[in-house]
């Protein structure tokens, strides 16, 4: 049980590190806040809320994984390296794909309203 609690402690610390130290975290948080405010304003359906929650979680997970990949690559390959740069670009591309998915989902939900 102690081990399980400790793993949650590490995970919470990781979230705090992300929200306190990454420049993109406030941008994603603001987008989520806007979606929540619009969701309440337009009284969206439960299905729409599920979509908002799912794509928001997708974006945050992608951004956190991107951060982890970038920091790992920086440790493993501190000097300029074309392969390391490609790895970072791929991780950043995953964030962009998630963010575009969220934007399209938001458009589908909110633009008709």
Active site residues: 63
Burial of 26 (0-12, 13-18, 19+ CB in 10 A): exposed
Burial of 60 (0-12, 13-18, 19+ CB in 10 A): buried
């Amino acid at each position: 049980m102690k081990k399980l609690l400790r793993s949650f402690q590490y995970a919470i610390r990781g979230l705090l590190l992300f929200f306190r130290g990454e420049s993109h975290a406030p941008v994603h948080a603001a987008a989520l806040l806007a979606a929540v405010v619009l969701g309440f304003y337009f009284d969206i359906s439960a299905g729409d809320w599920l979509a908002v929650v799912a794509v928001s979680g997708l974006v945050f997970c992608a951004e956190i994984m991107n951060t982890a990949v970038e920091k790992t690559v920086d440790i493993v390959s501190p000097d300029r390296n074309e392969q390391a740069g490609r790895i970072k670009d791929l991780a950043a591309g995953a964030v962009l794909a998630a963010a575009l998915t969220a934007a399209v989902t938001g458009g589908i939900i909110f633009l008709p309203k």
